[in-house]
Structure 1
């Protein structure tokens, strides 16, 4: 079921911060007044997940320029997140991030967003939540397919443009 156009389900979760040392908290209300790229991924210490997580981390300044924050979440614990962030890339870790990873250990948030699979693991889902807490975009992909940072940026820019944007629209191009 699509959540687009609906109020984003509330969440409060513990996080592992991008420095790989500290813990924090994140809730939907923390992002009020900003756009949020809220994405789910299956598990820490896997194969496709680090490619997209690092790609989003590398693009964090582009998102910040668009008044947008990023929060990743899986059903792993905050301790697993911290260990994965702190582990070097050479040793199959993330080697630091520019945003936190939230722990949906009870699986309540993944269920509320419709991405919890039958095995109790979050599917690869991405949501763009606007400053008023309304979901403007959602995409769920197979676990074997990483998401495109460029496409996420393009969709965010199209949403922020506030008009009718044709396929492959880019900022500066005509809208319909």
Structure 2
């Protein structure tokens, strides 16, 4: 049996703050989560110079403008050093590197951030593929964790982010399954849900 952290971190709580060294546009910088005043997509990946990880990191970078349009920043985190991050960024994509990316890669070499977010797998000494969406108040609104061998979806991350922002802007509404902007929402009352189900089943 795996002896994972007994952290009870869950949505609705304040996201654990951290300060760490990151590579930002080829330079080392200190980043602090609580200093971000936007929404934040915080995602963990196991190791630099691996296989599934660059596909995710590059995909989020290539669509970074879509997140910026939603007032959202992205932070990628692994247990590698900032020097490893920099070397990977300086490696061409055709050679399995990242090339230039549009958001910080954070070094969690002490494994404190991965532990705080309860994604550290002690059997390999690295983070599972955890992804967290944190709102402007620093509240954790969404979390998901994949095992190591399969990647996450940028489309689904954007969809969930838009749903979070919609319900925060419209607190009398909730978003049903697979909701997309412009689709029908629901009032979370018996009469509101009945009206919704009548509408979609006509």
Match in the other structure for 2:166: 161
Q: Which runs of 5+ in 2 are unaligned?
A: 1-7, 168-172, 187-202
Number of residue pairs matched by the alignment? 173
2:76 aligned to which of 72, 79, 86? 72
Aligned pair 1:38/2:48, yes or no?
no
Report Cα offsets for 1:8-38 as digits up to 9, x if no partner.
0011110012x3x31111111221x210000
CA–CA distance in structure 1, aligned partners of residues 23 and 15 of structure 2: 22
Q: TM-score, normalised by structure 1?
A: 0.96
CA–CA distance in structure 2, aligned partners of residues 79 and 41 of structure 1: 16
Match in the other structure for 1:58: 62
Q: Please, what is the CA RMSD of the aligned residues? A: 0.9
CA–CA distance in structure 1, aligned partners of residues 160 and 69 of structure 2: 15
CA contact (8 A) 1:76 1:103 kept: yes
Match in the other structure for 1:174: 184
> Which stretch shifts more, 158-167 or 129-138?
158-167
CA contact (8 A) 1:37 1:126 kept: yes
CA contact (8 A) 1:42 1:143 kept: yes
Q: Which runs of 5+ in 1 are unaligned?
A: none
**Regions of 4+ moved over 6 Å:** none
Larger RCO (alpha carbons 8 Å, 6+ apart): 1
Structure number, greater radius of gyration: 2
Match in the other structure for 1:14: 21
Residue 2 of structure 1 and its aligned partner are, at CA, apart by 4.8
